[in-house]
Amino acid sequence: MICVKNKNEIQLQKKKRIYLDYAATAPVRKEVVKEMLPYFSDKFGNPSSLHSFGLEAKAAVSNARKTIANVINAEEDEIIFTSGGTESDNLAIKGVAYANKDKGNHIITSKIEHHAVLNTMKELEKEGFKVTYIPVDKYGQVNPKDVENAITDDTILISIMHANNEIGTIQPISQIGKIAKKNDVIFHTDAVQSFCHLPIDVDKFNVDLLSVSSHKIGGPKGVGALYVRKGIPIKPLFNGGPHEFNKRAGTENVPGIVGFGKAAEIASKEMKKESVRLTRLRDRLINSIISSIPGVRLNGHPKNRLPNNVNFSFIGVEGEAMLLMLDSLGIAASTGSACSSHDLSPSHVLLALDPDPVKAHGSLRFTLGHETTEEEINYVIKMLPGVVEKIRKITPRIEGVTTI
Amino acid sequence: MAKKKTNVKIKNSNKKKSSSISNNVTNSSLYTEKVMEHFMNPHNMGEIQNADAVGEAGNPVCGDVMFLYLKVKNNRIEDIKFKTLGCAAAIATSSMVTDIAKGKTLDEALKITNKQVAEELGGLPGVKMHCSVLAQQALKNAIENYRKKHKN
């Protein structure tokens, strides 16, 4: 039970800092920072230069490229470095749309994509493209049959994310890829949340484009990559030099790319072990919340979800209030409530699972990662029931809304 | 000389007002200390059994609902309690409005503005100002409901 009696107590508890928002970003690994440093001072060359400074920078970029390609079973020259997941999504979707608009103007995606995908789709709709947004079931899963049924002669692209950032649900990418291939439609997947958490093989997935991001796996922010299968034409987002196989102009962010490569190397090596460890912690947290707090609902599929994702709706509690109280206890999490968003609208993902916005307002997301310990999860398990109880005491009784 | 001094004083206090309403938050905190105080340890939180009037504002669909309960004696708010479902700002503004309204006459309480509530809290982020509006509305509704019931 939380009884923060005085300011000193608040300060004491503040010293403990538990970060459980890995879906938002992750701490940069120490080895990554170490690997990046030389590229700021000694090896600062432009990879396009022909002298030794340039060549050593070029080698570093090439090395990172190779590492990332290996993780997903791609060729080196199929990896394009970008400024992050958002740019990769934009490059994939707009790149394919503009390069293929003479073949058709219809795109299929899902209702629960990240805003980087959804807002890009909205832009394309303004330009005359037609987009079908496939709904999801109560677990947030896309039915491959729905994708197949949506395909028309005008369909040029399917974009379905591998795993969802809010609820963790994993999509049947291989099945969707098979359908896309059978119908000769280009297939993109946003793998920002799944890269180095789940095994990815671009051939097994039958995927043509795949977005990944550095900062989610303990690399620096501001760098990501897009896998583009050889032979898939894409129009670059902007023009300049011939960098990244003429697909993404601009002097490479060498330290960032080096950091990304190192993070991918470490994270992919640890992936098997980490996914077992995190799944265990995740399920402990999920089961404890279900058994110790009444009036809760797990959002997303109970088993077919990211190893590190926990997302619950709590009856009679608002998300931001929970977040702040947890923050005062040193626990950092996230919510899908309207009050916490910049435009005061609730999470579109939660609304896709259940159109009742009330459940979206009372949602809480914990995402675990490489620095999460068992002690930290124990602490959350200990403190969360008190937080929920305290806030519920303030809630008015509204039959069917706040009553359990 | 004295006149000048007074003028300067007024100018300064006006400046204080506008900056405290708009955004008095530091880079590392979403809310002022006062808001956090009222959120973590709300004042007058609860229900009044057999309340003389109840006022409601907001709705669960939007994410904020406030209920204010009044006990009125001789046209004065003898006791006031609140229950709120909402974010920290919603809870803090409901708590603060009960502090401001307690002991006031119904007419005095009707004059309480949302700006006042926000000010007393040391300011609210722009996107949370609507919470102070809800608090003021809940109070207004409570008083109106009371007056409807007691038309004489």
Domain parsing of chain B, residue ranges: 2-149
Q: Do A275 and A263 fall within a single domain?
A: no
Look at residue A399 and tell me if it is in a domain.
no
Look at residue A404 and tell me if it is in a domain.
no
B83 interfacial to chain A (CB closer than 8 Å): yes
Comparing A141-150, A280-289, A331-340, A389-398, which segment has the lowest mean pLDDT?
A: A331-340
Look at residue A401 and tell me if it is in a domain.
no
Write the DSSP assignment of A346-392 as a string of letters. Answer: --HHHHHH-S-HHHHHTEEEEE--TT--HHHHHHHHHHHHHHHHHHH
Comparing A38-42, A187-191, A284-288, A341-345, which segment has the lowest mean pLDDT?
A: A341-345
pLDDT value at residue A337 = 84
What the block records as the tokens of B99 is 């502090």
pLDDT surpasses 60 at A307: yes
Is residue B6 classed exposed, middle or buried when 0-12, 13-18 and 19+ CB atoms within 10 A define those classes? exposed
pLDDT value at residue B28 = 65
Average pLDDT over residues B70-77: 96
Residue A208 belongs to a domain with what CATH number?
3.40.640.10
Active site residue A196: no
pLDDT surpasses 60 at B143: yes
pLDDT value at residue B17 = 43
Distance CA A359, CA A317 (A): 9
Are the beta carbons of A320 and B87 separated by less than 8 Å? yes
The single-letter DSSP state of residue A252 is: -
Measured on CA atoms in the order B94, B96, B102, B108, is the torsion positive or negative?
negative
Show residues of chain B in contact with A324, CB under 8 Å: 30-31, 36, 39, 88
Using DSSP, how many helices (H) and how many strands (E) does chain A show?
Answer: 14, 12
Distance CA A176, CA A397 (A): 45
The CATH fold of domain B2-149:
Sufe protein. Chain: A (3.90.1010)
Cβ pair B39, B88 in contact under 8 A: yes
Q: For A232-248, what is each residue's pLDDT tens digit?
A: 999 999 999 999 999 99
What average pLDDT does chain A have? Answer: 95
pLDDT value at residue B152 = 58
Look at residue A1 and tell me if it is in a domain.
no
Q: Do A353 and A238 fall within a single domain?
A: no
Report residue A357's pLDDT band, with 50, 70 and 90 as the boundaries: confident
Which residue of A318, A328, A344 is in closest CB contact with B85?
Answer: A318
Angle between helices A319-328 and B88-101 in degrees, nearest 10: 90
Cβ pair A100, A233 in contact under 8 A: yes
pLDDT value at residue A16 = 77
Average pLDDT over residues A344-362: 90
Are the beta carbons of A324 and B36 separated by less than 8 Å? yes
Give me the domain span that covers residue A15.
7-26+271-394
Which percentage of chain B shows pLDDT scores above 90? 75
Distance of CA B143 to the CA centre of its chain: 14
Report residue B6's pLDDT band, with 50, 70 and 90 as the boundaries: very low
Which residue of B39, B42, B63 is in closest CB contact with A339?
Answer: B63
Average pLDDT over residues A21-26: 97
ipTM of the complex as predicted: 0.87
Average pLDDT over residues A110-125: 98
Q: Do A263 and A174 fall within a single domain?
A: yes
pLDDT value at residue A3 = 46
Average pLDDT over residues A164-171: 97
Chain A to chain B, count of Cβ pairs less than 8 Å apart?
Answer: 73
Buried b (16+ CB within 10 A) or exposed e, A370-395: bebeeebbebbbebbbebbebbbebb
Distance CA A256, CA A368 (A): 24
Show residues of chain B in contact with A3, CB under 8 Å: none
Q: Do A21 and A89 fall within a single domain?
A: no
Which carries the bigger pLDDT value, residue B3 or residue B135? B135
Q: Do A47 and A80 fall within a single domain?
A: yes
Angle between helices A115-126 and A85-99 in degrees, nearest 10: 30
Report residue B27's pLDDT band, with 50, 70 and 90 as the boundaries: low
pTM: 0.90
| Cα dihedral A339/A342/A346/A350 (nearest 10) | -120
